Amino acid sequence: MTGGNLLNEDDVEAVFRHLSQAMPGRTATAKGPKDQPDPFRSVVSCVLSAQSRDANTQLATDRLFALATTPDAILALDDAAIAAAIKPCGLYNMKTRSLRKLCTALIERHDRTVPRTRDGLMSLPGVGRKCADIVMSFVFDEDVIAVDTHVHRVSNRIGLTDATSADRTARQLEERAPEWALRDGHFWLIQFGKAVCVSRRPKCETCPVNHLCLSFSALARV
């Protein structure tokens, strides 16, 4: 281990080795965000999922895509119709404006095609690092570790990263995770965060990486 809040390179690799053996990883049924059938609807569902529960996002996307499934079709709707459709996911007025800007950008700058690169995706209104990485991983099958709440918490508890935001965690994981772990790293970390390293009362005593975890080591010294 290194000093401070970060594991050294060998221990980072060891953590991913242990997680790869303990967690299922990417499954054959893993699909795009909210199981959407194409890149455009996947990006839209990501934008709508911000600060929304999965069930509410699903309801909002179902209602929106019953009305329109392309950038042009969404722009043909008035604001009231879009807002009414996506109301279940919250922040519906702000998200309506973001969707209009997103669709306009896709038409004017990208010939109605969703970009495949992180920079291209993040150039779209309403699309941040997390959304871009999720689309890259699930839709375009790129080897990236998308960082959600679970991945952010677990990575910083263990010492894989020492970041104060999810975006910084994502950048550190991109730099510090071994290349072979990038494809399934998101799945191992999120599964681990849901099953073992939970937010409250993490199951440290039975954790497969407690001998490497900086938080557990610090707790043991108290």
Which residues are identified as catalytic? 130, 148
Phi, psi of 29 (to 5 degrees): -95, 0
Q: Report residue 141 as tokens.
A: 């099958």
Integer Rg of the chain from CA: 19
> What is the rounded CA–CA span in Å between residue 160 and residue 11?
9
Residue 87 per-residue DSSP state: G
CA distance 76 to 169: 38
Distance linking the first and last C-alpha atoms of the chain: 18
Structure tokens at 57: 């996002």
Q: What are the CA-CA distances from residue 83 to residues 36, 48, 56, 86, 203 (Å)? A: 20, 11, 14, 5, 42
Cα-based distances in Å from 183 to 45, 130, 189 = 22, 15, 12
Task: Name the token pair of 10.
Answer: 């060998």
Q: Are 204 and 216 in contact (CB under 8 A)?
A: yes
